[in-house]
Amino acid sequence: MTFKPVYVVDGARTPFLKVRGGPGAFSAGDLAVQAARAMLLRQPVEATALSEVIVGCAAPTPDETNIGRVVGLRVGTGNKVPAWTVMRNCASGMQALDSACVNIQTGRSDLVLACGTDALSRAPLLFSDGMVNWLAKWNGAKSTGQKLALLRQFKLSNLAPVIGLLKGLTDPVIGISMGQTAENLAWEFGITRKEMDAFSVRSHERAIAGQNRHAFDEITAIIDAKGNAYTEDDGIRRDSTVDKLGKLKPVFDKPSGNVTAGNSSQVTDGAAALLLASEEAVAKWNLQPIGRILDAQWAALDPAQMGLGPVHASVPILQRHNLGLNDLDLWEINEAFAAQVLGCIRAFESEQYCQAHFGLPALGTLDQDKLNVDGGAIALGHPVGASGARIVLHLLQALRARNLKRGMAAICIGGGQGGAMLVETLG
């Protein structure tokens, strides 16, 4: 398969804002619009010149169902630029990029705004089935007597809300949470609690170092309706230590598990936006790209081991380009859970796993000095729809900051899938 490179002209993201109880200040649309506007204002093209807008979002609210169109109109594309929404769980933002790439390669589009966004703080609270059934009967009641009878049947337990986010993080096919899939990998590969917590501390330490040296210049400040400004990721913990994390209780396998809130990604609101272009558009508008997307791959596996999706998606790309793990300059693997990323590292190293799933010898040990060099979702947060776009954007930024060339961004996907993109810088 020949993958005609697509140019990444520019990108921006919002600060990732930790969910702290109650709806956040921004809807998913607000976040995507502010990131996209900041980026487009730097470019010599108007939003009306875009071929299309594609937005990945895992949990749009009912008033932003086709959030792609909402974002397109709000950034000023006018009525004639089409816009649409994609959803591939945790990789929705990466899917937006890949969908843009396909349309650019086929000549359908030349210049595409591709975004990933989610405001998980606004995930809905739902009525229980008991409450829905009671309300249906109430609405159908035709007499006062019928309504009085229904009032006597009402149970206070009906008022207990169903948390939409928790339902979304539970696999409906195998009936277990995403956190339990991380526990599965920890058990399979012998990953200890101390290893998980140490990896998590490192994520925070690298994110802190990144903030200190301005490694997150892709972040644009955003302002809420009350005039409050948000300028940086607010979930990074400067006091994180292995000892402190070791005191946290397991969340998903409470009797004997090792996955805790401290070694899992943070529930977060945020968005990332990238401008992708064909070679012809680059020349027409005299654009100055920061990099190119060289290849992309989607893969599927057992939902109970969904965290190994990055392995299954990246291996075919490595094979197509005759690359070893450490032939790449940098890697970004989204940190859904510490156990999940460590599981990917162990799977690459495992002769048994690589032979069983790819018919290959073990790929070797991934150099962790090349992995998530400025921290990852454990420290920065994981707004589900945005993360796939964020890791591609930051990978390019991290490569450019170090005068490096090629890197791989990879992400696991709830439901048992994985996505990966191979990118390179220019100049």
Q: What is the pLDDT of residue 1?
A: 54
**Neighbouring C-beta atoms of residue 171, cutoff 10 Å:** 17
Q: Note whether 5 and 28 are within 8 A (CB).
A: no
Angle at the Cα of 240 from the Cα atoms of 236 and 244, rounded to 5 degrees: 140
pLDDT in tens, 312-362: 999 999 999 999 999 999 999 999 999 999 999 999 999 999 999 999 999
Q: Which residues pair with 18 in a beta bridge?
A: 268
Q: Note whether 396 and 291 are within 8 A (CB).
A: yes
Q: Note whether 230 and 219 are within 8 A (CB).
A: no
Q: Note whether 101 and 276 are within 8 A (CB).
A: yes
Q: Which of 62, 68, 63 is nearest to 32 (CA)?
A: 68
Residues in the chain: 427
Q: What is the pLDDT of residue 18?
A: 95
Catalytic residue list: 90, 382, 412
Q: What is the pLDDT of residue 2?
A: 67
Query: For the chain, which ranges sit under pLDDT 50?
Result: none
Considering Cα of 224, then 228, then 229, then 234, what sign does the dihedral take? negative
Q: What is the pLDDT of residue 160?
A: 82
What are the residue ranges of helices labelled H in 41-128?
67-75, 92-105
Distance between CA 275 and CA 297 in Å, rounded? 20
274 token code pair = 């990238």
Q: For residue 36, how far is the Cα from the chain centroid? A: 17
Distance between CA 377 and CA 394 in Å, rounded? 12
Q: Output DSSP code: residue 406.
A: E
Q: Which residues pair with 299 in a beta bridge?
A: 418
Distance between CA 11 and CA 53 in Å, rounded? 14
Q: Note whether 328 and 317 are within 8 A (CB).
A: no
Q: What residues contact 144, with CB distance under 8 A and at least 6 apart? A: none
Distance between CA 299 and CA 323 in Å, rounded? 18
Q: Which of 209, 192, 200, 207 is nearest to 244 (CA)?
A: 200
The structure's pTM equals 0.94
HSE-up (13 A, CA, CB side) for residue 84: 11
Q: What is the pLDDT of residue 148?
A: 86
